[in-house]
Chain A
């Protein structure tokens, strides 16, 4: 039965939860397909995550391999294919707890970087899992800066082979998933040398383990890099190569080729290749970033409606902690952010689909803008959502600290997203470089891409709000965000120019302004997110209360951003001190409004209990009973050898000299 404290929350929903779920899924039909996939996966005991929190690294890894193998069978059984509508829901249904994710990257890099001949040779056996691939780019000493990679591939004309080497310890490949224990092959990125001349980084297919007995190939040293904060199920690996020889044909050669005589030939445009890298940053947002945040919100908000602590009114029952303003102020902005980023993700996906079509028609005009957007939004969304999950975790007090709450593993997993696929600070600086360039262009009247045309527009110098309800007008707050973005970008551009004019070298000037540049890039992304949220709300159907509640969330997201960064808006007097008090008042009022729909708003994310895997966040709200039952399953509750070995002598005073 459902805990009455949670049941009552659902009775008063101001909107149709089912309609909102369909909106999030992109249509009722999508919801139906997703639910069918989830049902098929969750009803199969092989995919169970029931004991996940009690398992060791070795056990987690083995389970992930087992699931990956079983998944092949399942897909065949269900008639799911990689191009079918079900495919994108499988990973979500598994909560990512499956091996061979890098195998997919291995295959994609061959498809993108390989010649037709190479694709024909490698893709069929890879599809059949006759070999398992990984993708070895990052080294112990190099991550962000690809040109700095130290692995070498020297062409030997005599044997028509490349000789691969790890010349020093910092050149060891480090981190690639599936490489520590599973992979038989990997794409290695190495500096290509022909006749003693370096031609830069190129990809090579290298076999690392025997296809017969899985032992390491001669010259190969590989293993697992040891325990991490999460991803215990993945065997992130290291790889050292000593005079490993591979045939000339193993260099992926769609764009660059080494001819038998050692001639180096570059062919075609790599732009489409860069574009592929760029899209990865966007494609990870949904599964790796938004899903964990939505789960964390679901757990924390349901728990806050069940947990009662202290009294709000004397003589009454203890209050739900969700009724405390401070608790609302922790959780509801995170909920609003989950929706805001869901909509910006939709926007980015559509933009990238369009970009893809243009690029296929050899029109590369959109590339710089898409690159800047993907870098900036990857950084801003991963950073924001990671912080948000941690807030959810800490808002659950002591019980949030238990692994059984599900929150620690959501947190440790999402926070890796701030680092992989481009370290966030570096990415923001790439966006900033684009913004500065566009600002310069706009100020001299040159055309700029659509997302930055606002840099050229002339806008009022003061915020026109007269009363606190004015701040519930999307035009008012969107313009305030725009103003801040323009101010930060233009002042940083001016500063850069000043420095250069005063004789500072360009690169020094850049480094001296990087803190400001990062702030400018963030402000730009924040503005676009707010603007997109407001525009999305505008277009929603008014039926079933959806538009109204989304409008509240949009307002909350926007005002929370101002409330937590007041200085940026007050700085040049755009928002006055009195107006800022109106913002605060409006913002705090909204908390109480959204509070009423908080539980339905997380119900709409439509996570099953199995997928949440949380003693605190289940749909029925039977928190304490579940916590107690799950704890009893802990291996620590089997008799520990510690008693006989240490406790008994201690208690019986047989330890010498005690």
Chain B
């Protein structure tokens, strides 16, 4: 196609921005040097002919898997060739190669190798690590079973020690115990780290990890006693061979149990591990990645929807005038700008968790775990809070693109189906919220018994003070200034405090009525989830607000302040009941909040395109005809459609097979 110039609407939008998008990009990347390096790696991948291929939307699942495995092999080779070893740089490289999609070696690189490093003995590392590093062994991590995900203790796979042969006998005793979902298990891997209930000397010792060969080296055929395959088509993850694994009296040597911590001696004696708190650290790390992923996925969807809304014209705003850009409609702004603000908020939250993790990981290695429980509780909730919001936000962006959003050429369906499982994996969101709630209730109980709490929950300390000097509802409300982010942080804090207190009290009331603690907890769980959500919401508003003072460029700070205010005020307008019921805001103030939200929409409008440009997604990575940087949407939709598989022949085969005979008969 001939080189096309930039769409006039987008050119005008970009010229009118009040700030330089590159400066904001630097903030998101963590400095100009990081931006430069990211773009360097991006160019390395995108200019490499080995990583080019047909649009994946036109390929079958098998073909997509094949493309992914081809690219993954090359990726591993090239990463080593270029000497890229920094985890973040590897992440970028991988993400550009696979355009933000999962790939069949994810579990090998992300779980199998790291688990060997952390849980294998030196002898086991000798045996497995180098072959795995060189991809003679490709492994996955088989934990989830068909009948068990969240509740790990319920896993049914067994590993029974046989001292006579010094082997473990692995079994999948029921249909529900079949390993189900592990990525790369179906077709790619020849080994798996299998989590199973360990039985030795007639006793169950709980879950342990075992290295299990599943396919014959050389032929790749499943080994005798192993049934393995792909679990079939899914909503997304077409590139990934999520698999099943069934084991029937499958024997592995004693040395294949990962024995850095717990051990089984040759005679079957079980030696207990020291502590299991260390796994907290890994979970915090993985959840910080999901928070970052929420931000990135929502940013991509916003980029597409906002650029398209600047290009698309429809209907009339003023009689007799040309059709306006749909981005000029208040309802369209109301759908998209709060999501844009949310994407920025989550970027800063993700960066904060990652920094905090790195800051305290030194302490963790030194054995100081004091900060870990809070961080663990907080990240559980933030993982759920951000992934829920991003999940819903991506769908809103798609809806905001009307009919064309429904076409796969918009790219948003793909973002959605790739992202939505993060509400489930690494901890189902409701379960995560309840973990956070457990911590909140515990902190509340501490405060009630006169102790002080620290960290993000320190606002609970104020509750006891209020009880001593009960304030009138009206006295508290006047303090909120709706133009001041810091004052809004206080409002969110008060809401969180009120909902935590309400949930804790309801829980106590249930406990007074019932015998079982679990039953009382269950009957309060809706309240508890609401309390956790309010707590997380407060943390997000607080972190966004705190970020503003770190921004030195005045123009950038101004636009981020608008977004921060919009995020905070929109959150209030969507949850007015909480603020009203607690007497934090009056009805008159709520009306002002609603009005101010609408004013902010108009304020942000001129910078909307520049704000998504700042996310700096390359067109190839964005994968969207609607969201193209140059805005030449319609011409390229037509070009794209011509490549559809249904258009391969001018007259479809079914005409001769079905249509023509029918017309002849009737």
Residues of A within 8 A of B (CB): 53-54, 56-58, 61-62, 65-66, 69, 72, 128-130, 132, 138, 140-145, 148, 169-170, 172, 174-175, 180-182, 211, 213-216, 223-229, 235, 238, 307-314, 318, 323-327, 329-330, 390, 394, 397-404, 408, 412, 415-416, 418-420, 423, 425, 429, 505, 507-508, 511-512, 514-516, 518, 565-573, 577, 580, 584, 588, 624-625, 627-628, 630-637, 640-643, 645-653, 655-658
Contacts and interface: CB of A to CB of B under 8 A. Distances in A.
Contacts of B583: 577
A255 B335 CA distance: 39
Given A62-B652, A174-B637, A325-B526, 4 more contacts: A515-B598, A566-B576, A636-B233, A657-B81
- Nearest 7 interchain pairs by C-beta: A566-B577, A567-B576, A224-B646, A634-B232, A226-B644, A567-B577, A636-B230
15 contacts: A62-B658, A69-B658, A130-B666, A145-B314, A145-B316, A214-B655, A226-B57, A226-B58, A326-B434, A390-B395, A402-B234, A408-B235, A570-B576, A571-B580, A650-B69
B575 A182 contact: no
A624 B229 CA distance: 15
A430 B284 CA distance: 49
B587 A571 contact: yes
B135 A310 contact: no
Most chain-A CB neighbours within 10 Å: which of B316, B578, B652? B652
Given A214-B651, A397-B424, A229 B406 contact: yes
B136 A227 contact: no
Contacts of B637: 140, 174, 225
Contacts of A655: 73, 77
Interface residues of B, number: 132
A141 to B, nearest CB: 6
Contact of B136 (A57, A144, A329, A651): A651
Majority-rule SS of B interface residues: helix
Nearest to A577: B581
A403 B147 contact: no
Nearest to B425: A398
Contacts of A514: 329-331
Nearest to A426: B315
B134 A653 contact: yes
A130 B220 contact: no
A595 B407 CA distance: 39
Contacts of A330: 430
B175 A62 contact: no
Contacts of B654: 61-62, 65-66, 181
Contacts of A400: 424
Nearest to B595: A495
A624 B178 CA distance: 9
B162 to A, nearest CB: 28
B333 to A, nearest CB: 9
Contacts of B315: 144-145, 148
Given A140-B637, A227-B57, A642-B69, A326 B525 contact: yes
Contacts of B577: 565-570, 580
A507 B232 contact: no
A656 B78 CA distance: 11
A61 to B, nearest CB: 6
B101 to A, nearest CB: 15
Interface in B378-425: 395, 399, 402-403, 405-409, 413, 417, 420-421, 423-425
A312 B518 contact: yes
B481 interface: no
A583 to B, nearest CB: 10
Interface of B: 57-58, 60-62, 65-66, 69-70, 73, 76-77, 80-81, 134-136, 138, 144, 146-151, 154, 175-176, 178, 180-181, 186-188, 190, 217-218, 220, 229-237, 241, 244, 312-319, 323, 329-331, 334-335, 395, 399, 402-403, 405-409, 413, 417, 420-421, 423-425, 428, 430, 434, 516, 518-519, 522-527, 529, 575-583, 587, 590, 594, 598, 634-635, 637-638, 640-648, 650-655, 657-663, 666
A509 to B, nearest CB: 11
A631 B229 contact: yes
Given A329-B526, A567-B577, A637 B229 contact: yes
Nearest to B68: A642
B69 A62 contact: no
B232 A404 contact: yes
A568 B594 CA distance: 12
B232 A129 contact: no
Nearest to B640: A226
A143 B235 contact: no
Given A182-B659, A640-B65, A226 B641 contact: yes
Contacts of A569: 577
A57 B578 CA distance: 48
A325 B314 contact: no
A401 B234 contact: yes
Given A62-B653, A408-B235, A418-B399, A229 B641 contact: no
A648 B220 contact: yes
B424 to A, nearest CB: 5
Given A224-B646, A636-B65, A651-B190, A53 B146 contact: no
